[in-house]
């Protein structure tokens, strides 16, 4: 039997994604109605964190418990992972004692090597290159507020980082457009983003032009985890790439604002935008829980409907 992993957004087909969004809606409604739903009783999720997290840890751990299973947290500091045990060996052992693994780590290569040696599905909880669970939640949030994302325009303002790369992959699979504006020197790297082509995104030197008429404006921190040494330089380079009220004014009148969080008010986004009428960041954060429950159900049980 082939194991299905979720290491990048385009590991799932359009059909599979639509199925997962449909399941998310149902799973979320059950949760809101306090209905018990335990399809994963006796299943164990291992969560491996090599970087910090609030939302990812909480949503996976709570989500697994809400599905009747249990979750175990490991980090680099107090496991053998931080002391040089080969990732291939760790994968062999961890996947013999669990049913599902979620990893947050540095290079994508680490999670790929883990998955190649795993007996159970592996989920990417963020790497330097991608953050696929985040974009599942973001797109589900868009659909809840505005309906299908197909044909819509998403403006990405700021760093062409893991979250940006994942938006670009998602645009190809779900057929929407991304208008990207980064400072010079931080442009999209299509190979790193692992894109099929360049038909679903366009780069803009001026962030205002990227935001113009967008259905969704989104951004992320200027310095991602693992790149802290570049922080000072990035603060200077990104100074003109803040999403503020003027930028939201050129987007569509009913444009949404999203941010994967944690956010830095006064840097990549102004306080009046993230706390303002366009912002759906709390729904977006909550939806991590619901989409990941649907994802775990799918990876472990396949289609149940
Ligand atoms: N958005 C996100 O992944 O948040 P955490 O770093 O808190 O997990
Ligand atoms: N791009 C950010 C996302 C944090 C959830 C980072 O990698 O640090």
Domain 9-131+285-301 matches domain 134-282 at the CATH topology level: yes
Nearest ligand by distance to the CA of 127 = 2
The better pLDDT of the pair 305, 180 is held by 180
Residue 149, pLDDT above cutoff 70? yes
Mutate to test the pocket of ligand 1, among 288, 289, 292 (most ligand atoms within 8 A of CB): 288
Residue 19, pLDDT above cutoff 90? yes
**pLDDT above 70: percentage of residues in the chain:** 100
Nearest ligand by distance to the CA of 124 = 1
What average pLDDT score do residues 29-47 get?
A: 98
Give the Cα separation of 103 and 299 in Å (integer): 15
Residue 178, pLDDT above cutoff 80? yes
Diameter of the chain by CA atoms? Answer: 53
Nearest ligand by distance to the CA of 163 = 2
* pTM metric for this prediction: 0.98
What average pLDDT score do residues 191-204 get?
A: 97
Give domain limits for the chain.
Answer: 9-131+285-301, 134-282
**40 with 68: CB under 8 angstroms?**
yes
pLDDT in tens, 121-147: 999 999 999 999 999 999 999 999 999
How far, in Å, is the centroid of ligand 2 from the Cα of 235? 16
Residue 76, pLDDT above cutoff 90? no
**100 with 121: CB under 8 angstroms?**
yes
For the question of residue 290 being annotated catalytic, the response is no
What average pLDDT score do residues 223-243 get?
A: 98
pLDDT at 95: 98
Ligand 1 atom closest to the CA of 225, numbered from 1: 6
Give the Cα separation of 259 and 262 in Å (integer): 8
Mutate to test the pocket of ligand 2, among 132, 138, 161 (most ligand atoms within 8 A of CB): 161
What average pLDDT score do residues 212-237 get?
A: 98
pLDDT at 81: 87
pLDDT at 79: 87
In short, whether 165's Cβ falls inside 6 Å of ligand 2 is no
For the question of residue 288 being annotated catalytic, the response is yes
In short, whether 220's Cβ falls inside 6 Å of ligand 2 is yes
For the question of residue 57 being annotated catalytic, the response is no
Per-residue pLDDT band for 33 (boundaries 50, 70, 90) equals very high
pLDDT at 78: 85
In short, whether 53's Cβ falls inside 6 Å of ligand 1 is yes
Active-site option among 5, 200, 259, 288 = 288
Ligand 2 atom closest to the CA of 163, numbered from 1: 1
Ligand 1 atom closest to the CA of 285, numbered from 1: 1
User: DSSP letter string over the chain?
Assistant: -PPP-BSSGGGS-HHHHHHHHHHHHHHHHHHHTT----TTTT-EEEEEESS--SHHHHHHHHHHHHTT-EEEEEESTTSGGGGT--HHHHHHHHTTS-SEEEEE-SSHHHHHHHHHT-SS-EEES--SS--HHHHHHHHHHHHHHHS--TT-EEEEES---HHHHHHHHHHHHHT-EEEEE--TT----HHHHT-S-STTEEE-SSHHHHHTT-SEEEE--SS-TT-GGGHHHHHHHTTT--B-HHHHHHS-TT-EEEE-S---BTTTB-HHHHTSTTB-HHHHHHHHHHHHHHHHHHHHH----
**In this structure, which residue's CA is closest to atom 3 in ligand 1?**
56
How far, in Å, is the centroid of ligand 2 from the Cα of 221? 7
Per-residue pLDDT band for 299 (boundaries 50, 70, 90) equals very high
Indicate the average pLDDT of the chain. Answer: 97
**In this structure, which residue's CA is closest to atom 4 in ligand 1?**
55
**pLDDT above 90: percentage of residues in the chain:** 96
CATH of domain 9-131+285-301: 3.40.50.1370
**In this structure, which residue's CA is closest to atom 6 in ligand 2?**
224
Query: Does the CA dihedral 208-211-213-217 come out positive or negative?
Result: negative
pLDDT at 113: 98
Active-site option among 131, 179, 200, 259 = 131
CATH topology of domain 134-282: Rossmann fold (3.40.50)
């Amino acid at each position: 039997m082939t194991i299905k992993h979720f290491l990048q957004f385009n590991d799932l087909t359009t059909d599979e994604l639509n199925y997962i969004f449909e399941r998310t809606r149902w799973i979320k409604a059950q949760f809101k109605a306090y209905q018990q739903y335990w399809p994963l009783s006796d299943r164990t999720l291992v969560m491996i964190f090599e970087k910090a997290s609030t939302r990812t840890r909480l949503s996976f751990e709570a989500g697994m418990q809400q599905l009747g299973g249990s979750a175990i947290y490991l980090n680099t500091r107090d496991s053998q992972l931080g002391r040089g045990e080969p990732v291939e060996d760790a994968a062999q052992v961890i996947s013999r004692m669990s049913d599902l693994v979620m990893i947050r780590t540095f290079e994508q290569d680490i999670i790929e090597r883990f998955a190649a040696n795993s007996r159970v599905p592996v989920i990417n909880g963020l790497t330097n290159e991608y953050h696929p669970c985040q974009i599942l939640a973001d797109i589900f949030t868009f659909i809840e507020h505005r309906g299908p994302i197909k044909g819509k325009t998403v403006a990405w303002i700021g760093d062409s980082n893991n979250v940006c790369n994942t938006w670009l992959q998602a645009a190809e699979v779900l057929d929407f457009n991304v208008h990207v504006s980064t400072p010079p020197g931080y442009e999209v790297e299509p190979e790193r983003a692992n894109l099929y082509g360049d038909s679903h995104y366009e780069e803009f030197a001026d962030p205002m032009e990227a935001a113009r008429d967008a259905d969704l404006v989104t951004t992320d921190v200027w310095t991602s985890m693992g790149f802290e040494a570049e922080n000072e330089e990035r603060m200077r380079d990104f100074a003109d790439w803040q999403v503020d009220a003027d930028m939201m004014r050129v987007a569509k009148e009913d444009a949404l604002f999203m941010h994967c969080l944690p956010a830095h008010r006064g840097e990549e986004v102004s306080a009046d935008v993230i706390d303002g009428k366009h912002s759906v960041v709390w729904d977006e954060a909550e939806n991590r829980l619901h989409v990941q429950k649907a994802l775990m159900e799918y990876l472990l049980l396949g289609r149940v409907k």
